[in-house]
């Protein structure tokens, strides 16, 4: 079987670059995009050095102000951001039709039929960086791996190069000592449960026999251990290829005027909480979320994202819903907001958490 290569393209500085291009006097400033600290909103994007300080998309603006009080806060411009995101997407689609848009400026590309080995995968990634820089003015970080999980985590390593390629064994070596919170694919509730069972690092999880976790996580036990070894098994799925299928939904109807982004954002937060409650009631986890807005003229727009791990907690759902919401241009009044959770799987039955002694490493 031919070796598989997936690229994760992270245009981390795309929105900041747009703001600097619109106002060159912002060059070199620490920027936080999303609104003012007193606004009831979240960070949409920020300068790279602020990320190192712990500020990231989804963080409350008020919390970001406490971390970086001297940063310059800018309002969000969703129409321009969505247009720029679409331009990057269309450029990537000229390379391969297997592109999955994960979030604003963040994409997965499946190298099947395009690259045959590690060397050609890295060559392709470097060519992509150059072409994206020519068109958009910034070079993305690109991670390469045999699984979306490895590719996604590689793109954040920045080992002196913005292209990082790791195989499964290199992945385990690079990440085994890192905390569970850094493993892409674990939800907050799962992390709490694993910590209750005595695990603290990715390596701890990787060394655990799935049979030991089965009483607590059911059929997900082997999957969780696989994540620690760089195996999520999630394919690159372009949105156009994926039907919604069975879903859980919650919606709000009423009238909100043009420009009421703060009020709409609050309503979205309440919907996310209601959606999480509904998933709990139905004992379901969701791996896809959609935000649908019906405008005052009764037209509608939908934004969607495929998550790489199943979730049912508000704290896991809200950053995704908020990121999708901020891709809307709220140029008109709103009549309805609907949230859909799909790609549903049963919530495993969990036994009471009892700490145990980690077993010998599991091969693979």
**What tens digit of pLDDT does each residue of 83-137 get?**
888 899 999 999 999 998 877 788 999 999 889 999 999 999 999 999 999 998 8
Residues 25 and 130 in one domain: yes
The answer to whether 250 and 274 have CB atoms below 8 angstroms apart is yes
pLDDT value at 34 more than 80: yes
Among residues 209, 208, 228, 210, the alpha carbon closest in space to that of 219 is found at: 210
Do 12 and 86 have their domain in common?
A: yes
pLDDT band at 160 (very low <50, low <70, confident <90, very high): very low
Q: Report the distance separating Cα 179 and Cα 203, nearest Å.
A: 9
Band of residue 44 on the pLDDT scale cut at 50, 70, 90: confident
93 & 22 share domain: yes
Phi, then psi, of 117 in degrees rounded to 5: -155, 180
Tell the residue number behind the tokens 């409650």, with chain if given: 277
Q: Identify whether residues 180 and 211 lie together within a single domain.
A: yes
Does residue 67 lie within any of the structural domains?
Answer: yes
pLDDT at 362 over 50: no
Mean pLDDT of all residues in 37-46: 80
What is the extent of the structural domain holding 81? 1-101+113-142
pLDDT at 296 exceeding the cut of 70: no
The answer to whether residues 127 and 6 belong to one domain is: yes
| Dihedral (CA of 189, 190, 192, 196) sign | positive
Please state, in angstroms and rounded to a whole number, the distance separating the CA atoms of residues 263 and 268: 9
pLDDT band at 301 (very low <50, low <70, confident <90, very high): confident
Q: Confidence band (pLDDT; 50, 70, 90) for 361?
A: very low
Return the minimum-mean-pLDDT range out of 68-72, 78-82, 111-115, 145-149.
Answer: 78-82
**Whether residues 219 and 250 fall in one domain:** no
Distance CA 32, CA 102 (A): 21
Overall number of domains in the chain: 3
Q: Is the pLDDT of residue 25 over 60?
A: yes
pLDDT at 71 over 60: yes
pLDDT at 207 over 90: yes
Instruction: Report which of 257, 245, 252 is spatially closest to residue 269, judged by C-alpha positions.
Output: 252
Q: Are 132 and 141 in contact (CB under 8 A)?
A: no
Is residue 352's pLDDT more than 80? no
Phi, psi of 325 (to 5 degrees): -60, -40
Q: Are residues 207 and 258 in the same domain?
A: no
CATH number at residue 251: 3.30.1490.100
15 and 68 both lie in a single domain: yes
Q: Are residues 327 and 250 in the same domain?
A: yes
Nearest Cα neighbor of 65 from 95, 41, 96 is: 41
- Given this model, what pLDDT does residue 127 score? 95
| Statement to judge: residues 53 and 83 lie in one domain | yes
**Would you state the pLDDT for residue 206?**
96
Position 205 pLDDT exceeds 80 = yes
Q: Are residues 80 and 197 in the same domain?
A: no
- CATH number of the domain bearing residue 200: 1.10.150.20
- Write down the pLDDT at residue 244: 57
Q: Are residues 223 and 264 in the same domain?
A: no
């Amino acid at each position: 079987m031919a070796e598989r290569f997936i690229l994760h393209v992270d245009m981390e500085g795309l929105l900041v670059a747009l703001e600097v291009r619109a106002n060159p006097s912002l060059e070199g400033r620490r920027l936080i995009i999303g609104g003012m600290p007193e606004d009831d909103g979240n960070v949409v994007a920020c300068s790279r050095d602020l990320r190192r300080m712990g500020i990231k998309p989804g963080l409350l603006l008020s919390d970001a102000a406490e971390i970086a009080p001297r940063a310059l806060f800018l309002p969000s411009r969703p129409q321009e951001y969505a247009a720029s995101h679409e331009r990057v997407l269309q450029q990537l689609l000229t390379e391969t039709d297997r592109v999955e848009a994960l979030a604003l400026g963040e994409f997965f590309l499946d190298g099947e039929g395009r690259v045959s080995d590690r060397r050609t995968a890295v060559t392709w990634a470097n060519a992509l960086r150059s072409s994206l820089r020519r068109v958009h003015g910034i070079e993305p970080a690109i991670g390469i791996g045999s699984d979306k999980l490895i590719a996604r985590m590689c793109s954040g390593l920045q080992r002196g190069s913005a292209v990082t390629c790791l195989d499964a064994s290199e992945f385990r070596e690079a990440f085994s000592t890192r905390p569970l919170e850094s493993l892409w694919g674990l939800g907050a509730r799962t992390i709490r449960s694993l910590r209750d069972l005595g695990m603290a690092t990715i390596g701890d999880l990787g060394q655990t026999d799935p049979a030991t976790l089965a009483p607590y996580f059911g059929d997900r036990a082997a999957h969780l251990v696989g994540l620690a070894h760089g195996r999520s098994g999630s394919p690159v799925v372009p949105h156009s290829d994926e039907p919604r299928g069975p879903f859980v939904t919650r919606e709000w109807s009423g009238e909100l005027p043009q420009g009421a982004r703060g009020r709409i954002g609050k309503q979205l937060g309440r919907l996310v909480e209601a959606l999480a409650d509904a998933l709990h009631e139905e004992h379901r986890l969701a791996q896809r979320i959609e935000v649908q807005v019906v405008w005052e003229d009764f037209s509608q727009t939908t934004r969607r994202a495929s998550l790489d791990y199943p979730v049912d907690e508000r704290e896991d759902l809200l950053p995704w819903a908020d990121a999708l919401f901020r891709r809307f241009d709220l140029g008109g009044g709103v009549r309805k907001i609907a949230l859909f959770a799909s790609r549903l799987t049963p919530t495993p039955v969990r036994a009471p958490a009892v700490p145990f002694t980690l077993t010998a490493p599991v091969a693979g």
